[in-house]
A and B are shown apart, each in its own frame.
Chain A
């Protein structure tokens, strides 16, 4: 019995490390690779995650920044961004200095996130809406089952979030950390019935 448990545990550990190995193999060298010399002094994962403390919420988001603030008018629709999206916008709304992450970088030209990676510049109308319910019954959009059937695009809590299209860990190795190739606008047409 004990041996069996050990075997299961060993295989689990093996599996997890394999998956993580795959994942972080892609992260290495990607735009989110915080282990590069430019980001010297930064905890590679600590830019986004923090160890299990009472301040952290799963999956270990760093909540020291006020995540409850709203980012302007997110879109015409009523937007309520999830934790993941807010974590992205922590950097990508261009309000936080880069060295606030603990990095010892002195980038005078771009002390904060700059265009074109700084979002929300058009008061929510320049960017694809996030934190909105996926309009699964709108005839202009494909049904949720279709969207999720490809195992690429995600809809956390049934909402469109940053992570619907982007994978911050660069698992797929696509440009712009996309979850799938956008050749032929395939990513767009996964949801949009155009």
Chain B
């Protein structure tokens, strides 16, 4: 007996120490007059009575002492959710009896309606950026509740874990549905916000949400600090580093300004640029996208939708079109230039795209597949700037295998490469879109900025200068884009086209007058008239008067030789032939070094 009493006493002591954080007493849910919090009763000193009554409670399981609100709620909607979300019911409805801000806090069933408990605040005080406690009757800006979380859901959406593997600390409702009580324990504020599982590293979120690539993503592992200045000024983040805050860096679980997908910012890019403006993240993308030629996400807000199909989507560009913030991570894009550089890695992982054959895929394997979403078969492609013999706005077709000539973005060249290529580029090399389209201050261009086509001073979003105006004086700067891969010395020494120097230096003709850049679609041009990316700029080159009529034509007559029929700069060529003396030897040299490459 003595031992039992001693144990009891010990129990008292232990319980008294444990009561401090684990108990509802003194938590924000302690509405009694002794509560240290702002919202409390004036006289009533019981703690439980605001929700529970031992007798004559509502016939609901936890002896519920409150009316259920009869509010009709606006519920969460999203184009990417597969859950069937109902009007709130069950436990959630009980929480909403205070937290929708409609019913008086002191209005309990154990008292007559005329004598409610007198409180310091009649209803839950509003305040969109205050305590977040008033959810209002608009639940479309809150995490959905009252939906069934079962295998059916996790089977449809592979980014939702099967319910069996979710921790038991996150209990589902009677019918296996997510309710307020799944995440919150109204009696235990040990972890803050009455959470069942800590939200540090967003552990409570990733218990159910299994986002592709999140585990190693930069936003999950970065220890960069998010000091007060750069986080949402309307609500401070709870923790100090990117990885600690995790999901909360971009998402707000309740009262999110951007309802769909619960984002902190209405404008999509603001959520990214909040940190990626040189303050938290290493690179200042905000400066890049303000340049004259940029993928500027600013003008179109609310157009992007993760469920969109690239073939029919309206014109827009957002950060998340090319980046998946869940999976993005820091890693060099390519190892050696011209080898595997185009395989998607690091910043662009887990982004949908369009393959070279025009098929939509969920997870791009190559960088160009991401570009093809907008610059391929999309309805809103950039307009033609330069009038040419052959015009094509579908970049996917321009890079198709089997085309008469193309830059080797999707597949390597079958023909001998240009003799001007700078090592390690060679026949069989692969280049990427961002070899040419990149920010002008990117590391790729020798600067300190981020790689990638964010923004450039050189139109159209080029990594280096590329003059296309007629009568441009040749210089390393004028065509520095081309000279990045095609050696200036080689070009001007006529190692490829024997008359390059005459045309470029003497006649001051830019590269773009004779060559198109991306490729010639095989449905439009043939290997005789459009090899070597020849596609004349019609604003400079005009047809020549010949006995057979007006003709504008280039004809390939063998490696590094051909003839032209055209009028340009007042000069008329009719079947004007050229051939490179060094062609034979160069060709033989190339063949010897790469026996697999056939002419």
Chain A residues with CB under 8 Å of chain B are: 76, 115-116, 119, 121-123, 125-128, 142-143, 145-146, 148-149, 165, 182-185, 188-189, 192-194
Contact = CB atoms under 8 A, between A and B. Distances in A.
A184 B57 contact: no
B56 A116 contact: yes
A10 B24 CA distance: 51
B48 interface: yes
Interface in B366-396: none
15 contacts: A125-B60, A127-B54, A128-B54, A128-B63, A145-B8, A145-B11, A149-B5, A149-B8, A149-B12, A183-B46, A184-B25, A188-B47, A188-B52, A188-B54, A193-B23
A81 B55 CA distance: 16
B234 to A, nearest CB: 33
A147 to B, nearest CB: 9
B46 A182 contact: yes
Contact of B63 (A123, A127, A194): A127
3 smallest A-B Cβ distances: which pairs? A149-B8, A122-B59, A185-B47
B504 to A, nearest CB: 83
Given A185-B32, A185-B48, A185-B49, A149 B11 contact: yes
Main secondary structure of the interface of B (DSSP, over half): loop
A194 B23 contact: yes
A145 B3 CA distance: 10
Interface in B106-150: 110
A185 B46 contact: yes
A184 B9 contact: no
Given A116-B110, A128-B63, A165-B54, 11 more contacts: A116-B55, A122-B58, A125-B60, A126-B55, A126-B59, A146-B15, A149-B5, A149-B9, A184-B47, A188-B46, A189-B47
B4 interface: yes
A106 to B, nearest CB: 26
B34 interface: yes
Contacts of B187: 194
Nearest to B23: A194
Contact of B56 (A76, A121, A184): A121
A146 B45 contact: no
A189 B18 CA distance: 13
A121 B57 CA distance: 9
A184 B34 contact: yes
B11 A119 contact: no
Interface in B1-47: 4-5, 7-9, 11-12, 15, 22-25, 32, 34, 45-47
A187 to B, nearest CB: 9
Interface of B: 4-5, 7-9, 11-12, 15, 22-25, 32, 34, 45-49, 52, 54-61, 63, 110, 187-188
Contacts of A194: 23-24, 48, 187-188
A10 B14 CA distance: 44
Contacts of B58: 122, 126
B521 to A, nearest CB: 70
A127 B56 contact: yes
Contact of A146 (B12, B32, B52, B110): B12
Contacts of A188: 46-48, 52, 54
Contacts of A116: 55-56, 110
A141 B17 CA distance: 16
A92 B11 CA distance: 35
Contacts of B47: 184-185, 188-189
B113 to A, nearest CB: 14
A149 B7 CA distance: 9
B186 to A, nearest CB: 9
A165 B5 CA distance: 21
A143 B12 CA distance: 10
A146 B8 contact: yes
B59 A119 contact: no
B4 A145 contact: yes
B595 to A, nearest CB: 75
Contact of B46 (A76, A127, A145, A184): A184
A88 B15 CA distance: 32
Given A126-B63, A128-B63, A184-B25, A119 B56 contact: yes
B25 to A, nearest CB: 7
A122 B65 CA distance: 13
Nearest to B110: A116
A184 B23 contact: no
A126 B56 CA distance: 5
Contact of A125 (B11, B15, B61): B61
Contacts of A115: 56
Given A149-B5, A183-B46, A142 B55 contact: no
**Most central of B46, B49, B61 by chain A CB within 10 Å:** B46
Contact of A119 (B34, B46, B49, B55): B55
Contacts of A165: 54
A162 to B, nearest CB: 10
A141 B8 CA distance: 14
A182 B60 CA distance: 23
A51 to B, nearest CB: 32
Nearest to A178: B54
A89 to B, nearest CB: 12
B464 to A, nearest CB: 67
Contacts of A145: 4, 7-8, 11
Contacts of B54: 127-128, 165, 188
**Most central of A126, A145, A182, A194 by chain B CB within 10 Å:** A194
Nearest to B29: A194
Contact of B59 (A125, A189, A192, A193): A125
A128 B55 contact: yes
A127 B23 CA distance: 23
Given A126-B56, A194-B187, A76 B61 contact: yes
B349 to A, nearest CB: 43
B49 to A, nearest CB: 7
A184 B32 contact: yes
Contacts of B57: 122, 125-127
B45 A183 contact: yes
A143 to B, nearest CB: 6
Contacts of A143: 11
A175 to B, nearest CB: 11
A123 B5 CA distance: 38
Contacts of B23: 189, 193-194
A140 B473 CA distance: 84
